[in-house]
A and B are shown apart, each in its own frame.
Chain A
Amino acid sequence: MSKVRRLAAVCGLSLIVSLLLAGVAVAADQRAVLFLETRPSAKPEQGYVLAARLVATDGRPVNEATVRFYDLVEFFGAREMLIGSATTDGQGIATLTYLPAQLGPRAIVAKFAGRAGVAATEGRASLAATVAAQPYTVEPAPLSAFSSKVPYAVGAIVLAVWALIGFALIGTARGVMTGARKEGKWQTA
């Protein structure tokens, strides 16, 4: 009798655990959709607003979720360049302002890495950038105006030195050889 009760207890426990695990699995598998849209910023010089809306398949917004935004770039092959990340609000919306480095069409990707109860997802959008960040200009180093001329001055000195060496060698050789020729004529005379 006691064996039967123990077996029944184990089976019951197994059933309860299985049901719990199945419930978690069902919860983790709950899908979400990420809608991404881009629009010009209210202040055009600030670039574009990237807005990602994360909603579960049942239509409820997913809040407090971190969304990462990427720009697809060509850098030794196609790569995702991280723009930044933002957290969804109560309506499941995460926004980020982005000023591209280059003009022209851009492909933007927003990614949600998933969390307990919500599966990972991503959304894509395109952007025709008509404003871009100013090209980065290196600040002139101190004394750059002066130091840019130094190589020319040093080069002139080096050339002058080589010219002097050449003059010393060739001038001496010419002088000695000319003297020798005159001596030859004198001897002949």
Chain B
Amino acid sequence: MDSRTHTRYVERAMWPIGRGDRKFWIVVVVLSAMVAAGFYAYIYQLQRGLWVTGLNQKVSWGFYIINCVFFIGISYGGAMTSAILRLTNAKWRAPLTRLAEATAVAALLVGAVYPIIDLGRPDRALHLLLYPQVGSPIVWDLVAVSTYLVASFVFLYLPLIPDLAMCRDTLGPSAGRVRRTIYRVLALGWRGEPRQERSLARGIGIMAVLIIPLAVSVHSVLAWLFAVTARGGWHSTIFAPLFVLAAMLSGVAAVILVVAALRKVYGLQEFITAKHFRYLSYLLIALGVGYLYFMVSEYLTEAYVLERSTTPVLEAIFEGVYAPAFWVFTVGGLVLPLVVAALPGRFAIARACTGSALIIGGMWLKRFLIVVPGMAEPVMPWDWGRYAPTWVEVTITIGSAAAIPLLLIVFFRFFPAMSVHEMEEVEGAELRRTRMVPAFAGGGDE
């Protein structure tokens, strides 16, 4: 790679940093308002108790648990996309990995909060640490999610080190002293030396390998929260792999949407092309077909045996009160998007985005179909439970969904959206340090 290409990479990657036009601030204000509304709804719930939600004695899990599974699933997909592309050394990954890793962290931060929101007394979350019961899946969940959160941060940080050095060397005094100090400290004195490259490659390699079983374990534990409960529709051996696949599917769909949005916002069309969306669509289709297979396998075995506890749930899902949601999910949220993404021809980006949006909506519905009918089915000879979310749950859900893009655009205001180092590495070019220094050194404090 010549220095002109390198400079172009750097310029494009650094362009969003510290920059904020009118549109940017409008987006920030709108998203912040939505997040603030979510906070208000939570404070309202905190002051009055869980009765302000639609949760009740029979259906005690609702939007909050659905959102927890959903957002952690998105995070999982982001991390897995990056890790798999790194491990398979997919050359087209370079402009995408940072976006996927940041999406993973942002979605995880949002998803991990939901179990606490679901508590009427959030102060009792401390009891998990003070009086843990190793036999409780909630404790498994705490261990798995906290480990995965730390690993996700490390997985985001390590590939960022060379880019932090780039920020340190490139950004002038206008960046501010505090920010430049942060870049300098976090860059750890990176100069692109072979020894440093080796250390970094080893660290990223370990994390790329580690993040996959970690992400699998997190979503398996989430699945076991349901599967170890003797409730109709939950007590299934296939739940853990089904959850893992669902997470990957919704996560890849979310990555496609995030990449498409930031590509347009940050003008990365030159680096992220239709080819990337086509490849991501292939991944989406493979995962979608896999998920369809698992889903059919689950329902086939359950509907054939028709155990007493499972039958009412299956009836409710296939032909009862939840049938509209189920068929909308199956047709509109799974089969149709896969067909749209698989169609040959033009508009690859639009098709990938449409398919991804449908899949995200569909996978949220699927989580609803897992949580609510299983809860609503009476385990005693009573009537079915009913669940209708209130404005509190809806507002918190919208606020938390808005928090993910807000976190991302705030993050990319301070850190490069593309990994220049990785793009150069993938293209097989050596960093020409001696040529770089004059180009980058202007205004640097090193």
A113 to chain B, nearest CB (A): 35
CA distance A173 to B207 in the complex (A): 14
A168, B203: Cβ atoms closer than 8 Å: yes
Asked if A180 meets B193 with Cβ closer than 8 Å, knowing A158-B143, A168-B207, A172-B199, the reply is yes
Known: A171-B199, A171-B202. A176 touches B154 (CB 8 A): no
Q: Given the interface contacts A172-B158, A177-B188, A177-B189, does A165 sit within 8 Å of B199 by beta carbon? A: no
- Enumerate B144-171 residues with CB–CB distance to A below 8 Å: 147, 150-151, 154, 157-158, 161
Given known pairs A151-B134, A182-B195, the reply for A176 and B188 (CB within 8 Å) is yes
Chain A residue at minimum C-beta to C-beta distance from B143: A158
In Å, the complex CA distance between A177 and B206 comes to 19
Q: Which applies to chain A's interface (DSSP): helix, strand, loop or mixed?
A: helix
Among A158, A172, A173, A175, residue most surrounded by chain B Cβ atoms (within 10 Å): A172
Contact of B188 among A165, A180, A182 (CB under 8 A): A180
- Interface membership of B214, Cβ < 8 A: yes
Contacts of B1 in A (CB 8 A): none
Distance (Å) between the CB of A175 and the closest chain B CB?
2
Considering the complex, which residues of chain B in the window 182-214 have a beta carbon less than 8 Å from any beta carbon of chain A?
188-191, 193-196, 198-200, 202-204, 206-207, 210, 214
Main secondary structure of the interface of B (DSSP, over half): helix
**CB pair A176 B210 closer than 8 Å:** no
Chain B min CB distance to A183 (Å): 5
**Is the CB of A125 closer than 8 A to any CB of chain B?**
no
The verdict on A179 contacting B147 (CB below 8 Å), with A165-B154, A168-B210, A172-B202 known, is: no
> Which of chain B's residues have a CB closer than 8 A to the CB of A172?
158, 161, 199-200, 202-204
Per-residue CB contact flags for chain B residues 324-359 toward chain A (1 = under 8 Å, else 0) read 000000000000000000000000000000000000
Q: Cα distance A74–B247 when bound, in Å? A: 55
A168 touches B193 (CB 8 A): no
Q: Given A162-B147, A167-B206, A168-B207: A179 and B154 within 8 A (CB)?
A: no
Residues in A neighbouring B210, C-beta threshold 8 A: 161, 164-165, 168
Contact B203 A158 (CB under 8 A): no
Q: Is there an interface contact between A183 and B191, defined as CB atoms closer than 8 Å?
A: yes
How many whole Å from A147's CB to the nearest CB in chain B?
Answer: 9
Chain A, 26-50, contact with B by CB distance < 8 Å: what is the 0/1 string?
0000000000000000000000000
* Assembly CA distance A165 to B148 (angstroms): 10
Are B206's CB and A175's CB within 8 A?
A: no
Beta-carbon nearest neighbor of A172 in chain B: B203
A150 to chain B minimum Cβ distance, whole angstroms, is 8
Whole-angstrom distance between the alpha carbons of A152 and B163 in the complex? 41
For B158, what are the chain A residues with a Cβ–Cβ distance below 8 Å? 168-169, 172
A179, B198: Cα distance in complex, Å: 10
- Chain B residues within an 8 Å CB radius of A183: 189, 191, 193
The 7 closest A-B pairs by CB, nearest first: A175-B199, A180-B189, A172-B203, A179-B196, A179-B195, A168-B206, A179-B193
- Name 15 A/B residue pairs within 8 A (Cβ), A-sorted: A158-B147, A161-B147, A164-B210, A165-B147, A165-B150, A168-B207, A171-B203, A172-B161, A175-B195, A175-B196, A177-B188, A178-B199, A179-B191, A180-B189, A181-B189
Given contacts A161-B210, A172-B204, 19 further A-B contacts (CB under 8 A): A158-B143, A162-B147, A164-B210, A167-B206, A168-B206, A168-B207, A169-B158, A169-B203, A171-B199, A172-B200, A172-B203, A173-B188, A175-B202, A176-B190, A177-B189, A179-B195, A180-B189, A180-B190, A184-B189
